Structure 1
Amino acid sequence: MSTRVWAVATLGVLLVLIGIVAITRVPWSGAPAPRSEQLAALAGLPADAVAKGKAFNAALRPGSYGSMVIGLVVALVLGLTPFGARIVEAVGRPLGGHWLAQAVLGGLVIVLIGEVVSLPFAAWRHTVLKRYGLSTQDWGAWLVDLLKAYGVGAVLGALVLAGFFTITRLFPQWWWAVGAGAAAALVLVLTFVFPVLVEPVFNKFTPMEDGALRDSLVQLAERDGVPVKDVLVADASRRTRAVNAYVSGYGATRRIVVYDTLLREAPEAEVRSVVAHELSHARSNDVLTGTLLGALGSAAAVVLVYLLGAWEPLLRRAGVDSIAEPRAVALLMAIAIVGGLVAGPVQAYVSRKVEARSDAHALELTGDPETFQAMMTRLAMVNLADPDPNRVEHGLFGSHPSTVERLAMARAWAK
């Protein structure tokens, strides 16, 4: 068989594996959240807080959509015209046009262009966060965090670009197979190193002080059958008033992380309820599920890129001879952005199902629907959530059930 036939067959196998993982590990059914209970829960929320949450999200909306649209337009202009290839070529020219210079430096410049054009929308978002009192950062601290994010992205991006185009040069016929394996391996590696190497770049983590709360959280994890290495407090208050907690890491790196804002805003019973929700992700191996789907999805994306590379009109429009050459970096990034937009609603739907299971698990673990509802109400009020968002918008972008859906589920569970 030709390499193209092998690639098509491999893509088919990867899609089947993705389907198997999704069918067997994603909770497609969940606890009921009747609309009547949602409306009853909405009526019980403070009207002024609901109005503020809706106004806050309405203020964010133009910047969010504007950033998405301008990012897509720039990606398509650079990727589907010879302009992107010429930029990559020009960036590599001072270094003799070396392929590695084109791949890494040219690729980073293409990414930087996208970041720069979307920067005004990021500033817009920060302005809104400050106006509504959710951000505690001044502009200097905000800029430092932005530069940190750019730095981490540049390091990871340089490694990915250098690795990808090294593979295409070493394996000109079978780069898609080697690249698919490498992409899957990278996802697996990042799952383990992200909590240890990346999270500390943005937050300082300190062990929670010994006491009744820490003991109760450790006991809650033990009762749930989830071994944790430590209970840490993140200094989230230096950038936000938002409250949250999560279980980070996998295996030996797993730890409970609680925002210091949550400790200040919520009573201990609500903190335990939040942590009970997060423990469900570890107990159900949601990190493993996400890693498997991410690894298989990344491998499938590499194979799909290879198959798209055989479409001559696409290459001519981008002004390149092969999708595996460094000058095609802009085209590759355009494909990635379009693919991300297409996959986004599916990922959001899966995420909502997983989060709904964690909500139900928190209720089962604590047996305390009243505290769960109080905690969900506090999260919505402090984080300025829209408790009952537009159905279409929430379906496209919502990563969690809405506040009224979570409250309705708890009310139904209590009955």
Structure 2
Amino acid sequence: MSRAGRTKARAPLLAAIVLGLAFVLVVVLRTPWDVLPEPPGGGSPVDPTGGLAPEDVERAESLAAALRPASLISLALSLTASGVLALTPLGARLVQFVGRPFGGRRTAQVLLGTAALVVVGRLVTLPFSAYGEMIRHRFGLSTRSWGLWVRDVLVSTGISALLTAVAVMSFLWLIRRAPRTWWAWSAATAAAFVVVGSFLYPLVIEPAFNRFESLPAGQLRTDLLDLAEENGTPVEDVLVSDASRRTTALNAYVSGFGSTRRIVVYDTVIERLPDDQIESIVAHELGHVATDDVLTGTLMGAIGAAAGVSALCWVLGSSRMLRRAGVESPADPRVIPLVLFLAAVGTLLSTPAQNLVSRHVEARADVRALDLTADPDAFIGMQRSLAATNLSDPDPPAAWHWFFGSHPTVSQRVTMARDWQRLAGP
């Protein structure tokens, strides 16, 4: 290969490195590494139970013991199945097979091949999903009928297949349309998908699984709207989600941007928590808005996606890798299994870094909630109510929490609230 050819082949790798460094820079500058100064005399002692009742701790640990092995096996099987389809001719043959009834047309192979691969991946892990649902039923965490569970599986699989097919179709179209610069256009398109998806999710995906009604006029609605005004982020509405059709878990969130922003509260929260704890959980969600966490997360996601796709394009430039997958070129529809496998590996490898950032961002939102409400007792009560109802392990294994934990543990959150209280004084 000529020097110019080698430079061209390395361009996606160089772009991935530059974008990766940009991602690290954004993470370093935008992640709140220290959300509270240390109180005089040192931090409050950490209670590994988070102050939960012994029976609640026992149930949470029992649930985790039942689900964690199944989750790991499901993850391993999913990755193994994807790898087998990607690194042997099996995946390429599947893509060809599903397109054959349509004359083997390229579009049919891409759309139906992608959908088939998504469905196969779902079927591999379906027994473990069913097992998890059964365990959640046994512990009273899930209220879904099996009919509703099947409906949710079908809808989520259909949405995943559709979105993945659109992304893959765009990717392969760019390879054919811009054979020299396709990797750059693909990286830019991936970043654009992240940004557009962030805006469309509350408008398109949320309504596919839940129904929403405005919280009736009353003191709670007034207090929540006033809280949003005080936070400097007025909202369009306060909505109640019919989450109880599926779960007993407690949650709330703020979704949308600008004129579409709304507070969403699970109906289980309205039914079970006192108003001061509801205000505390909403204040936490408003804290994310005040510090532009969604926009920052979207920026990180866009840069990370562009870096990941650039690295993917570099790997696809390896003729050895393509031959192993039974593919002639990156533009060949039979490359789809390899693309999906590499994307899955990249996602898995980036999980600890994403969750590290997430835990610090969530801790900052906790501090914002305390600043807004000035009610640490309500905050602590809310965290314990959430942990007891959602059966959250207050003290999970360190390795598990490092890799999979997207939020601080209840023990950490209660300790932080005590530190905030000591700093705030009497």
Using structure 1 for the length normalisation, give the TM-score: 0.96
The answer to whether the aligner puts 1:15 opposite 2:23 as a matched pair is: no
Q: Give 1:308 shift.
A: 0.7
Aligned residue for 1:388, secondary structure, equals coil
Equivalent in the alignment of 2:55: 48
- Aligned position for 2:283: 276
CA distance in 2: counterparts of 1:158 and 1:88, whole angstroms: 12
Paired AA for residue 175 in structure 1? W
Partner of residue 91, structure 2: 84
- 2:108 match: 101
Q: 1:203 and 2:245 equivalent?
A: no
Give secondary structure in 2 for the equivalent of 1:24: helix
Name structure 2 gaps, 5 residues minimum: none
Deviates more, 1:92-101 or 1:300-309: 92-101
Deviations along 1:305-342, one digit per CA (max 9) or x if unpaired, are 11111223322221112233210111111101111110
- Structure 1: distance between partners of 2:52 and 2:43: 16
Counterpart selection for 1:408 from 400, 415, 422: 415
Given the alignment of the two structures, is residue 116 of structure 1 paired with residue 123 of structure 2, yes or no? yes
Task: State the AA in 2 paired with 1:222.
Answer: E
CA–CA distance in structure 2, aligned partners of residues 370 and 331 of structure 1: 52
Match of 1:63 in 2: 70
The answer for the alignment partner of 1:213 in structure 2 is: 220
Aligned equivalent of 1:316, options 312, 323, 336: 323
Instruction: Report the alpha carbon displacement of residue 21 of structure 1 after superposing the two structures with TM.
Output: 1.6
1:332-365 deviation line (CA, Å, top 9, x unaligned): 1110111111011111111101001111111111
Aligned mates of 1:414, 1:162 — CA distance in 2:
54
**1:260 equivalent in alignment to 2:270:** no
Aligned CA distance change for structure 1 residues 107 and 35 (closer, same or farther; 3 Å): farther
For 1:242-391, list aligned pairs within 5 A.
242-391=249-398
Aligned partners of 2:24, 2:245: CA distance in 1, in Å?
41
Question: Matched residues, percent identical?
Answer: 45
| CA distances 1:234-293 after superposition (whole Å, capped 9, x unpaired) | 000010000010011122221110000001110000000000100011111110011111
Q: Is the 8 A contact 2:280 2:369 kept in 1?
A: yes
Cα shift at 1:192:
1.1
State the AA in 2 paired with 1:184: A
Q: Which amino acid aligns with 1:329?
A: I
- 1:134-283 pair list within 5 angstroms: 134-283=141-290
- What is the alpha-carbon distance in structure 2 between the residues aligned to residue 311 and residue 6 of structure 1? 13
The CA distance in 1 between the partners of 2:356 and 2:151, in whole Å, is: 33
Distance 1:12 1:70 in 2: 30
Paired residue secondary structure (1:161): helix
Counterpart CA distance in 2 for 1:328 and 1:121 is 28
Using the TM superposition, give the Cα deviation of residue 43 of structure 1 relative to its aligned residue in structure 2, in angstroms. Answer: 6.8
One-letter amino acid of the counterpart of residue 118, structure 1: T
- Whether 2:129 is the aligned partner of 1:129: answer no
What SS does the aligned partner of 1:42 have? coil
Does the 8 A contact of 1:167 with 1:175 survive in 2?
Answer: yes
CA distance in 2, matches of 1:398, 1:100: 40
Instruction: Give the TM-score taking structure 2 as reference length.
Output: 0.94
Following superposition, the deviation at residue 224 of structure 1 comes to 0.8
Residue 75 of structure 1 corresponds to 82
Offset of 1:402 from its aligned partner? 0.4
Q: CA RMSD in A?
A: 1.6
Q: Secondary structure at the match of 1:203?
A: coil
Partner of 1:247: helix, strand, or coil? strand
Return the offset for 1:55.
Answer: 0.5
* CA displacement 1:68-108 (0-9 Å, x = unmatched): 01101101111111111111112222222222111111111
* Other-structure match for 1:38: 46
SS, match of residue 45 in structure 2: helix
Deviates more, 1:310-319 or 1:351-360: 310-319
Q: Which amino acid aligns with 1:15?
A: G
Is the CA contact 1:250–1:287 (under 8 Å) kept in the aligned structure 2? no
Q: How far, CA to CA, are the matches of 1:107 and 1:243 in structure 2?
A: 35
Amino acid at match of 1:241: T
In the superposition, relative to structure 1, how do residues 43 and 7 fare at CA in structure 2: closer, same or farther (>3 Å)? closer
Q: Once the two structures are superposed, what CA deviation does each residue of 1:91-141 show, in whole Å capped at 9, x if it has no partner?
A: 222222222111111111111111101100000010001000111111011
Distance 2:43 2:330 in 1: 49
The answer to whether 1:28 aligns with 2:33 is: yes
Q: 2:311 is aligned with what amino acid?
A: L
Question: How far has the Cα of 1:157 moved from its partner?
Answer: 1.9
Question: Is residue 3–residue 174 contact of structure 1 (8 Å, CA) maintained in 2?
Answer: no
Contact 1:191 1:250 in 2 (8 A): no
Q: Give the 3 Å change call, closer, same or farther, for CA 260–43 of structure 1 in structure 2.
A: closer
Residue 35 of structure 1 deviates from its aligned partner by 8.2
The one-letter amino acid paired with 1:255 is R
Comparing 378-387 with 97-106, greater Cα deviation is found at 97-106
Q: For residue 183 of structure 2, give the secondary structure of its aligned residue in structure 1.
A: helix
Aligned mates of 2:288, 2:51 — CA distance in 1:
29
* 1:144-173 deviation line (CA, Å, top 9, x unaligned): 111111121122122112212111111122
Secondary structure in 1 aligned to 2:205? Answer: helix
Q: Is the 8 A contact 1:192 1:253 kept in 2?
A: no
CA contact (8 A) 2:214 2:238 kept: yes
